[in-house]
Amino acid sequence: MKIAFIGLGNMGAPMAANLVTAGHDVTGYDRADVVVPGVTMAAGAAEAVRGAEVVLTMLPNGNILRAVADEIVPAMQPGAVFLDCSTVDVESARAVAEQARAAGLSALDAPVSGGVGGAQAGTLTFMVGGDAKGFETARPLFDVMGRKAVHCGPSGNGQAAKICNNMILGATMIVTCEAFALADRLGLDRQAMFDVVSTSSGSSWSMNTYCPAPGVGPTSPADTGYRPGFAAELMLKDLRLAMQAAEQAGADTPMGAAATALYAQFVEEEDGAGRDFSAMLPRFEGRTRG
C-alpha cells in the first residue's frame, strides 16, 4: 500500500520501519528532524498524505491530533483511511473521526499496547474503534505492526478500551509493588513470593510478565535500573484520560482515582519522571506506614 505516517517518534519510527520492511511505500513527516530508513520524508504533513491509501498518525495528545487533522484531512484522497494510533481522550478521537467521515474518509482510532519494545518487534496489540470497512483495509498493516488487533466497535471505542486496560494496569502495578515491599518487611524471599503469586490467584501481567523486582521473573525494566519500557509519566497520562472519561460518563472509579493520585505524586513530586512505571517498587521500599 501507499502509506503516510505522521509522527515518527519513539513509537512511530519503528512502526513505520516495519511497514517498509514488509514492502509498503511509506512517506513520513515529523516536526523533528528525523530519519527512518526506507521512509521518504516530506516537507509537511499535508504533502505527506497526498495520494496515500492509509494515513497513520502517532501523536502526543488530543489537541495535537485535532490540529494535525485540520491540516491533513483536506489533503487526503476520498476513500482513504485515517488510522490514528495515538492515545488521546475519547472526545477528541470521536471529533476527528466525524471530521474525517464528513470528508469522505474512513476513520479508525487504534491506540496500542506493547510499548517501544512491541513497536520494534512488531508485536503490538491494537484496540480499534471505527467502521468495519476501514478496519478490513487496515488489517494487513495491523498484521505487520502487531500480533493482535481487536475491533472494539464505533469510533472512540479503541480509546475507551485502551484507557480501561491501562487503569487496570496502573492499579495492579501499584499493588504488586506494595506486596513486594510488604514481603520484604515480613522476611519473605522475593523469588519465593514470585513463585507462589505467579501461579496463584494473585497472578497478573504486572507480576508474571513485567515483574517490578530485579532478578525475579522474566527480564523487565527492573533489571536495567528501571530504564523506561513504559514511562511513569505516560502511565499518569493514561490514568488521567481514564479519570476524564469516567467523569464525563458518570462512572465511579475509586481505585483508578487512587492510582492516578499515586502516580501524580510519584512523577510530579518525587523521582518518578523518566523512570519506568514499575519503579513504584523502590518508592515503597523506602517508605514506612504513617
- List of residues 6+ apart from 74 with CB closer than 8 A: 46, 103
Residue 66, pLDDT > 90, answer yes
Whether residue 130 is found in the same domain as residue 175: no
- Per residue in 3-48, pLDDT tens? 999 999 999 999 999 999 999 999 999 999 999 999 999 999 999 9
77-95 pLDDT per residue, tens = 999 999 999 999 999 999 9
Tell me: do 173 and 118 sit in the same domain: no
Q: Are residues 178 and 242 in the same domain?
A: yes
The range of the structural domain enclosing residue 21 comes to 2-154
Same domain, residue pair 206 and 148: no
**59 pLDDT more than 80:** yes
What one-character-per-residue DSSP string does 75-119 give? GSPTT-EEEE-----HHHHHHHHHHHHHTT-EEEE--EESHHHHH
Q: State mean pLDDT over 242-256.
A: 97
This prediction has a pTM of: 0.91
Cell triple for residue 238? Answer: 493514561
Domain closes at, from 89, 123, 154? 154
Tell me, rounded to whole angstroms, the distance of Cα 27 from its chain centroid: 23
DSSP letter for 42, please. Answer: P
My answer on whether 75 and 39 are in the same domain is yes
Residue 233 and residue 182 share a domain: yes
pLDDT at residue 117, as a whole number: 87
Q: How many domains, the chain?
A: 2
Report, as an integer, the average pLDDT of 212-220.
97
Active site residues: 162
Query: 243: pLDDT confidence band, cut at 50, 70 and 90?
Result: very high
Could you give the 3-state DSSP secondary structure of residue 153? Answer: strand
- Looking at the fold, whether 14 and 107 belong to one and the same domain comes out as yes
Q: What is the pLDDT of residue 289?
A: 83
Long-range contacts from 177-185, C-beta under 8 angstroms, 24+ separation: 177/212, 177/278, 177/280, 177/281, 177/283, 177/284, 178/284, 180/212, 180/213, 180/281, 180/284, 181/281, 181/284, 181/285, 181/287, 184/285
In this structure, are 148 and 173 located in the same domain? Answer: no
Question: Is pLDDT above 80 for 290?
Answer: no
Same domain? 6 vs 148:
yes
Same domain, 150 and 166: no
Q: pLDDT per residue over 160-208, tens digit each?
A: 999 999 999 999 999 999 999 999 999 999 999 999 999 999 999 999 9
Angle at 169 between CA 237 and CA 5, to 5 degrees: 55
Domain containing 218 — which CATH number? 1.10.1040.10
Tell me the CA distances in angstroms from 77 to 19, 43, 49, 155, one per residue in order: 21, 19, 8, 20
CB atoms within 10 A of CB 71: 13
Domain end residue (candidates: 154, 179, 213): 154
Rounded CA separation 93/155 (Å): 7
CATH of the domain at 34: 3.40.50.720
Domain boundary among 90, 123, 154: 154
Q: Could you report the per-residue pLDDT of 111-164, keeping only the tens digit for each?
A: 999 888 899 999 999 999 999 999 999 999 999 999 999 999 999 999 999 999
Q: What pLDDT is attached to residue 116?
A: 87
Verify that 150 and 164 share a domain, yes or no: no
Please give the radius of gyration of the chain, using alpha carbons only, rounded to the nearest integer. 20
Are 120 and 181 within one domain? no
